[in-house]
């Protein structure tokens, strides 16, 4: 299945037994990132049996901060759903962005749901606002 | 048509064929003598009997027309016209073979009145169009008031005043005398003292124009050297939901008083002026609100603090905007001898939405200043403060603590997912600060590693956002400016004042992108001021022009 | 106070101060620069004299030194920053404090104009003359300028531009101000030695320097411009779209010339990234000046730029033999555009015979 609402991003989704592979071709940015996020969220909802999500990144062009934000959101969703996220065939550009932003380990260390649990439960649960030092409330508009 | 023999005796005969003509007809011979005048002409010009000289019996314009017609080469091409008695006529000549002329006189009085009315209407339309043009061109209230008063004094009256509803005790009044520039005053007058003025200023309920007794007009209402006032009319300026003010028109006693028609016209003008003035007022109010809100979001102006030079520059991605997703701040040390804190960062997203998030981060950092000596803790707390389950909008930033130590500056730099700052050494080398960490606002934990280093006098530290290095341009149009170019450019900036390093980097990046779209770009430079005895360094260094 | 009646002596003093300031500026010595300026004020020199005959004179020398390759662009920026600091120090001195007695003037640089110092000097001079001045600084986008004017009700805008390639942008800014009935006084090298481009672009006034600008504004208010003026009326030749075409495809034109030069001069292929960047920059300038000449309908602007470039490159020891072929390739690309072709031919002629290269390097 190929979907491409944006001329700059083309997604090809391949379903297998317990895995889904999405090939990402083109730029992941302000305009196109919401599309990838929507496709992944849809797939997670549609496939409760899913164990592994592979994002094939060899064809990834430019990626901006909104694109990275989408990857972080995808990681949140997969963690919540107990699905392992694999960012495969990362381009040098993506690798560099993940390195500078300190997100490489977070996004690429594939762990079982348990090992990731303490961190992920904090963000996966609807926010309980348990953090004492929190200065501002959850803000959906921010 | 008319034979020479026939007309000599046909003139007196009643029932001449000309009598049936619907228009007055005069036949004149070559010498300008009346030969024949039909019944209608006899009523119009009783003296124009056959044998009379046209010059003696007809209005001057007609006999002049006859002379022109008789002069060879001066063919009158279009119908001539003029007044006879209370009415006006067009004279249509038709020259006969023998040189005599038949003058057909066509009453065009109604026609002329209609034409004149049309001219007046056209002038008024043109005036209203010009007025609209001038009024709509400005969104400045004072300017709109000035234009209104000036136009009114030019076309509607000898002098005009525009009064705006007052915010305080004084009423803003713009006065314009015909032929002079409008002047603005703030009158400490009570509009209630002038009949009709306070109603007009209140704007509700709608009130018609109101005449006031010129003798009763307060002194502020009559311009100096105006002379005796003949008539004054006060017209409300209708606004859009808000009262826009009042227009006061004055005519001198030797000028005709306002006709009803003129008054109606003045109201048409007032409607346009009122609309423009209330739009200007709304714009000013909106602009004031934006200014107040924007003040919090605009990057600050930086300068020397506690013996350290700071300079910053910011260019939003869109030219019409003043804010965006990049931000920077310098917080001077609370206590002398402690470090000042610099923060520069970039939030995910763009435009006003991103700017609002930068405001939140800047406020949070401000609140965390008491722990400014512990960058990691600040970043961790900032991360917690920004974290929400709704989204993964994150920010990357660099914190820099700078304190003067003798003539050196001690720096601690911490990157939270941000490109590391660059250090310009005296020998022209450019180093990357050895710091790294995670971005804030998206991951459950944020960690970072701090680098400590020292700037000698003349050395500086450059904090920048990726809008600079990722600016696309160059020969292919899509190559990035990149860190290497930035480092190379900075290599030429050794010993330069902080603000000129900022300017230099901004200029190079701007030239690189040209007219292409770009992201927000921010640069902050922290420099250890050069001590005075070092000033002789490198003034004459030959610049390299590499090509 | 040492107000000397002897003009020659005054001029000598001014020259000495300018020399001192020049030394300080090229040594990036803010302390001395500020000290020179403040001392002049303490000794009773008019602030306007210090601004225009000392600081502006030094800044003029900075530009000359750069053109003659005795200062790098970075050093030029540094020198300017020192002059700016000297101006700031002067502005704060009691001798320069003036109560506003006149109207309000907005002083701004055209968008893309980085040289803010001339505008800054004008702003300070106008303040000394009793104007209320809003100084908006370097590169002000037209929307910001117009928004400011809507709020401030300025009597006039003083618009500064030093680089001719900013003239199309300047024209847009001039007409935008005039459309809201604010008259525009322009100044700066971009508008031509005798202000010919100021007239061409319909500015309400032109001043060759800050003193003339202040005199012009002091003579009486600039008339409010009529608001129904159409920019195209100034430049009817724009109807042929040659400017639009060249400006829009400038990046592609630069690429084409670059590729053409690589074919003509094999040495090009061994260029470092920095050399390639410089060549791209030079070619971009050429195309920008061509576009500007087409916008203004003035071939001389282009030939003037080409001969100036030749002089600057020579002073930097850069051989020129790639300059005529660059123009030739452009002319070939733009052969369907008669004004562009004619302009380029004039440029080639203006260069005259170019000496053969002594090294493998090219401009």
Residue C1 exposure: Cα atoms within 13 Å on the Cβ side: 6
Residue A139, C-beta contacts closer than 8 angstroms, at least 6 positions apart: B360, B388, B390
Residue A95 tokens read as 């690798």
Domain residue limits at A8: 2-115
- The confidence score (pLDDT) of residue C116 equals 92
**Structure-block tokens of residue B392:** 């993964």
Asked if residue A108 is part of any domain, the answer here is: yes
User: Is the separation of the CB atoms in B174 and B220 below 8 Å?
Assistant: no
Residue of A nearest to B419 (CA): A100
Q: Among B400, B411, B401, B416, which residue's Cα sits nearest to residue B448?
A: B416
Q: Which of B198, B177, B277 shows the shortest CA–CA distance to B237?
A: B277
Of the partner residues A102, A119, A135, the one whose CB lies closest to the CB of residue B364 = A135
Within a domain: B101: yes
User: Does residue B541 fall inside a structural domain?
Assistant: no
Best mutation target, B374, B391, B471, to test chain A (most A CBs within 10 A) = B391
Cis peptide before C256 (omega within 30 of 0): no
Q: Sign (positive/negative) of CA torsion B271, B272, B273, B279?
A: positive
| Touching pair A, B by Cβ (3+ pairs < 8 Å) | yes
Distance CA B448, CA B452 (A): 13
Contact B172, B141 (CB under 8 A): no
What residue in B sits closest to A65 (Cα-Cα)?
B348
The answer to whether residues B10 and B138 belong to one domain is no
Q: Please state the pTM of the whole predicted model.
A: 0.81
Tokens of B93: 């000549």
Please indicate, yes or no, if residue B313 is contained in any of the structural domains: yes
Note whether C314 contacts B: Cβ–Cβ < 8 A.
no
B434 shares a domain with B329: yes
pLDDT digits (tens, 9 = 90+) for B64-90: 888 877 776 656 556 688 888 888 898
Position B543 in a domain: no
Looking at residue A49, which CATH number applies to its domain?
3.30.750.24
Residue B41 structure tokens? 């002409």
Residues from chain B that touch A119, judged by Cβ atoms under 8 A, are 443-445
Of B381, B442, B445, the CB nearest to A69: B442
Which residues of chain C carry a pLDDT beneath 70?
A: 1-8, 227, 354-363
Query: What's the rounded Cα separation, in Å, for the pair C165 and C285?
Result: 8
Distance CA C175, CA C170 (A): 9
Is A35 a domain residue?
yes
pLDDT at A141 over 60: no
DSSP states of A15-81: E-SSEEEEEEEEEESTTTHHHHHHHHHHHHHH-TT--EEEEEEEEEEEE-HHHHHHHHHHHHHHHHT
Q: What is the CA radius of gyration of chain C?
A: 23
Instruction: Give the β-pairing of A19-28 and A52-63.
Output: parallel
Contacts of residue C54, Cβ cutoff 8 Å, sequence gap at least 6: C14, C17, C18, C21, C36, C37, C40
Give B-chain residues touching C254 at CB under 8 angstroms.
475
Q: What is the pLDDT of residue B9?
A: 44
CATH code of the domain covering residue B21: 3.30.450.20
A105, part of any domain? yes
Judgement on whether residues B268 and B332 belong to the same structural domain of the protein? no
Give the separation between CA C149 and CA B51, rounded to whole angstroms.
Answer: 76
Same-domain pairing of B386 and B527 = yes
- For residue B476, the distance in angstroms to the closest alpha carbon of chain C comes to 7
Task: Kindly state the tokens that stand for C206.
Answer: 């032109």
Distance CA B472, CA B513 (A): 6
Thinking of the domain C238-351, which architecture would CATH place it in? Answer: Orthogonal Bundle (1.10)
Residues B337 and B461 in one domain: yes
Between the alpha carbon of residue C201 and those of residues C1, C168, C178, C313, the distances in Å are 46, 9, 12, 31
CA distance B286 to chain C (A): 11
Edge-to-edge strand order for the sheet containing B448-455? Answer: B326-331, B340-347, B395-405, B408-416, B448-455, B436-437
Question: Residue B445 is part of which domain span?
Answer: 298-534
| B158 to B231, B237, B320: CA distances (angstroms) | 10, 19, 43
Q: Partners of B404 in the beta sheet?
A: B409
Q: What is the DSSP string of B208-246?
A: --EEE-GGG--GGGS-TT--SEEEEEEEEE--SSS--EE
DSSP classification of residue A2: E
CB-based contact C81 B503, cutoff 8 Å: yes
The domain limits of chain C are: 1-97, 101-234, 238-351
Which ranges constitute the DSSP H helices of chain C? 7-26, 30-42, 47-49, 56-67, 73-92, 117-128, 142-152, 167-179, 196-200, 210-219, 231-234, 242-248, 250-264, 273-296, 299-315, 323-333, 338-351
CATH architecture of the domain covering C101-234: 3-Layer(aba) Sandwich (3.40)
pLDDT value of residue B78: 63
Of chain B, the end-to-end C-alpha distance in Å amounts to: 96
Say how far apart CA B25 and CA B38 lie, in whole Å.
6
Last residue of a domain, one of B242, B267, B291: B291
What is the tally of structural domains in chain A? 1
Task: Write the class of the CATH domain C1-97.
Answer: mainly alpha
pLDDT the model gives residue C5: 55
How do beta strands B87-95 and B80-84 pair? antiparallel
Closest CA–CA distance from residue C91 to any residue of chain B (Å)? 16
Same domain, B280 and B342: no
pLDDT value of residue A78: 95
**Cα nearest neighbour of C276 on chain B:** B547
C117 contact residues in B (CB cutoff 8 A) = none
Two tokens, residue C317:
């020891």
- Whether the upstream peptide bond of residue B205 has omega within 30° of 0, thus cis, is yes
Cβ C255–B476 below 8 Å, yes or no? Answer: yes
CB contact under 8 A, B532 and C31: yes
- Would you say how long chain A is, in residues? 142
The structure tokens listed for B57 are 């019996």
Planar angle of CA B450, B418, B316, nearest 5 degrees: 135
pLDDT digits (tens, 9 = 90+) for C163-180: 999 999 999 999 999 999
- DSSP label of B528: P
What are the structure tokens assigned to B189, written together? 């007058």
The encoded tokens of residue C76 equal 């030029």
ipTM comes to 0.87
> Of B454, B402, B398, whose CA–CA distance to B425 is shortest?
B454
* A137 found inside a domain: no
Q: Which residue, chain included where needed, has tokens 């302009």?
A: C343
Is B543 near chain C, with CB under 8 Å? yes
Summarize pLDDT for C34-56 with one digit per residue, the tens.
Answer: 999 999 999 999 999 999 999 99
Q: Rounded CA gap, B398 and B265, in Å?
A: 65
Q: Are B421 and B398 in contact (CB under 8 A)?
A: yes
Tell me the Ramachandran region of residue B157: left when phi exceeds 0, alpha when psi lies from -120 to 50, beta otherwise.
beta
Is B63 a domain residue? yes
3-state secondary structure at position C103: coil
Residue B116: Cβ-neighbour burial (10 angstroms; 0-12, 13-18, 19+)? exposed
Task: Give domain status of residue B475, yes or no.
Answer: yes
Q: Which residues of B touch A136 (CB under 8 A)?
A: 360, 364, 385-386
Residue with tokens 């435009």: B351
- Domain for residue A50, yes or no? yes
Structure tokens at B337: 């001898």
Is A126 a member of any domain? no
Q: Tell me, yes or no, whether B84 and B156 share the same domain.
A: no
Q: Is the dihedral of CA A35, A36, A41, A45 positive or negative?
A: positive
Spans of chain B below 50 pLDDT: 1-12, 533-547
Which residues of C, range 290-309, sit inside 8 Å of B by Cβ?
none
Beta-bridge partners for A20: A15, A53
Say whether both B46 and B132 belong to one domain: no
Q: Decide the pairing of beta strands C132-140 and C104-110.
A: parallel
Count of domains forming chain B: 3
CA C62, C66, C67 angle in degrees (round to 5)?
Answer: 120
């Amino acid at each position: 299945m190929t979907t491409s609402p944006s001329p700059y991003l083309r997604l090809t989704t391949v379903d297998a037994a317990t895995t889904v592979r999405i090939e990402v071709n083109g730029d992941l940015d302000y305009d196109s990132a919401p599309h990838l996020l929507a496709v992944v969220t849809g797939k997670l909802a549609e496939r409760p049996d899913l164990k592994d999500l592979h994002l094939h990144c060899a064809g990834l062009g430019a990626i901006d901060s909104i694109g990275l934000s989408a990857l972080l959101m995808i990681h949140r969703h997969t963690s919540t759903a107990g699905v392992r996220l694999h960012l495969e065939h990362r381009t040098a550009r993506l690798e560099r962005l993940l390195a500078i932003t300190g997100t490489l380990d977070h996004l690429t260390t594939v762990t079982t749901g348990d090992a990731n649990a303490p961190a992920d439960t904090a963000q996966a649960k609807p926010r309980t606002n348990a953090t004492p030092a929190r200065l501002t409330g959850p803000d959906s508009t921010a | 048509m008319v034979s020479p023999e026939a007309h000599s005796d046909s003139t007196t005969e009643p029932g001449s064929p000309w009598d049936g003509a619907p228009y007055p007809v005069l036949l004149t011979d070559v010498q300008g003598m009346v030969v024949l005048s039909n019944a209608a002409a006899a009523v119009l010009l009783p003296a124009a009997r056959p044998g009379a000289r046209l010059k003696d019996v007809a209005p001057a314009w007609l006999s002049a027309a006859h002379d022109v017609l008789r002069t060879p080469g001066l063919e009158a091409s279009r119908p001539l016209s003029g007044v006879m008695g209370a009415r006006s006529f067009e004279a249509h000549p038709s020259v006969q073979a023998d040189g005599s002329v038949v003058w057909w006189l066509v009453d065009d009085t109604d026609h002329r009145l209609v034409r004149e009315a049309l001219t007046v209407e056209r002038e008024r339309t043109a005036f209203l169009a010009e007025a609209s043009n001038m009024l709509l061109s400005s969104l400045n209230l004072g300017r709109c008031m000035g234009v209104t008063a000036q136009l009114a004094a030019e076309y509607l009256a000898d002098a005009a005043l525009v009064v705006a509803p007052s915010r305080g005790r004084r009423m803003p009044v713009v006065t314009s005398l015909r032929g002079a520039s409008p002047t603005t005053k703030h009158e400490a007058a009570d509009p209630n003292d002038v009949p009709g003025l306070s109603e007009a200023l209140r704007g509700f309920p709608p009130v018609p124009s109101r005449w006031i007794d010129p003798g009763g007009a307060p002194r502020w209402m009559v311009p100096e050297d105006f002379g005796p006032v003949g008539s004054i009319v006060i017209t409300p300026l209708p606004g859009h939901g808000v009262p826009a003010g009042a227009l006061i028109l004055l005519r001198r006693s030797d000028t005709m008083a306002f006709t009803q028609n003129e008054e109606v016209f003045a109201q048409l003008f007032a409607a346009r002026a009122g609309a423009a003035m209330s739009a200007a007022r709304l714009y000013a109010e909106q602009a004031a609100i934006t200014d107040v809100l924007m003040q919090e979001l605009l990057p600050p102006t930086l300068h020397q603090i506690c013996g350290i030079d700071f300079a910053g520059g910011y260019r939003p991605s869109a030219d019409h905007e003043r804010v965006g997703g990049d931000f920077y701040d310098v917080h001077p040390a609370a206590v002398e001898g402690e470090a000042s804190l610099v923060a520069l960062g970039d939030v995910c997203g763009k435009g006003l939405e991103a700017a609002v998030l930068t405001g939140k981060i800047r406020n949070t950092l401000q609140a965390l200043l008491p722990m400014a000596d512990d960058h990691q803790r600040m970043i961790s707390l900032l991360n917690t403060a920004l974290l929400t389950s709704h989204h993964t909008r994150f920010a990357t930033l660099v914190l820099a603590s700078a304190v003067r130590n003798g003539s050196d500056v001690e720096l601690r730099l911490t990157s939270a997912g941000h490109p590391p700052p660059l250090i310009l050494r005296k020998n022209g080398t450019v180093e990357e600060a050895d710091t790294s960490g995670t971005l804030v606002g998206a991951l459950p934990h944020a960690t970072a590693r701090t680098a400590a280093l020292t700037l000698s006098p003349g050395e500086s530290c450059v904090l920048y956002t990726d809008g600079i290095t990722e600016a696309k341009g160059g020969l292919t149009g899509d190559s990035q400016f990149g860190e290497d170019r930035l480092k190379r450019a900075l290599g030429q900036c050794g010993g330069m004042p902080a603000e000129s390093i900022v300017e230099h980097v901004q200029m190079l990046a701007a030239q690189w992108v040209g007219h292409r779209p770009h992201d927000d770009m921010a640069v902050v430079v922290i420099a250890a001021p050069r001590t005075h005895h070092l000033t002789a360094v490198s003034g004459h260094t030959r610049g390299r022009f590499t090509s | 106070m040492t107000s000397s009646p002897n003009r020659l002596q005054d001029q000598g003093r001014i020259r000495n101060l300018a020399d001192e300031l020049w030394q300080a500026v090229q040594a990036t010595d803010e302390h001395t620069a500020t000290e020179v300026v403040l001392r002049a004020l303490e000794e009773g020199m008019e602030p306007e004299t210090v601004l225009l005959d000392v600081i502006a004179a030094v800044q003029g020398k900075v530009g000359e030194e750069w053109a003659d390759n005795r200062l790098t662009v970075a050093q030029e920026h540094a020198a300017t920053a020192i002059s700016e600091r000297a101006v700031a120090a002067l502005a704060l001195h009691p001798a320069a404090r003036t109560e506003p007695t006149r109207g309000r003037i907005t002083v701004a640089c055209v968008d893309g104009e980085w040289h803010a110092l001339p505008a800054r000097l004008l702003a300070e001079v106008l303040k000394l003359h009793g104007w209320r001045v809003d100084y908006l600084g370097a590169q002000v986008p037209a929307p910001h300028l117009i928004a400011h004017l809507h709020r401030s009700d300025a009597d006039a805008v003083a618009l500064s531009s030093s680089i001719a390639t900013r003239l199309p942008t300047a024209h847009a800014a001039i007409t935008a101000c005039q459309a809201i009935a604010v008259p525009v006084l322009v100044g700066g090298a971009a508008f031509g030695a005798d202000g010919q481009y100021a007239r061409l672009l319909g500015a309400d006034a032109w001043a060759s320097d800050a003193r003339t600008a202040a005199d012009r504004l002091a003579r009486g208010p600039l008339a409010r411009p009529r608001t129904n003026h159409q920019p195209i009326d100034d430049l009817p030749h724009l109807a042929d779209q040659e400017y639009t075409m060249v400006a829009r495809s400038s990046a592609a034109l630069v690429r084409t010339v670059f590729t053409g030069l690589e074919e003509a001069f094999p040495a090009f292929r061994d260029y470092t990234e920095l050399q390639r960047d410089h060549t791209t920059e030079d070619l971009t300038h050429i195309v920008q000046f061509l576009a500007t000449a087409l916008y203004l309908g003035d071939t001389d602007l282009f030939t003037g730029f080409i001969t100036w470039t030749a002089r600057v490159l020579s002073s930097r020891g850069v051989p020129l033999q790639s300059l005529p072929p660059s123009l030739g390739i452009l002319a070939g690309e733009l052969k369907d555009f008669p004004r562009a072709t004619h302009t380029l031919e004039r440029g080639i002629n203006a260069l005259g015979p170019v000496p053969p290269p002594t090294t493998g390097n090219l401009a």
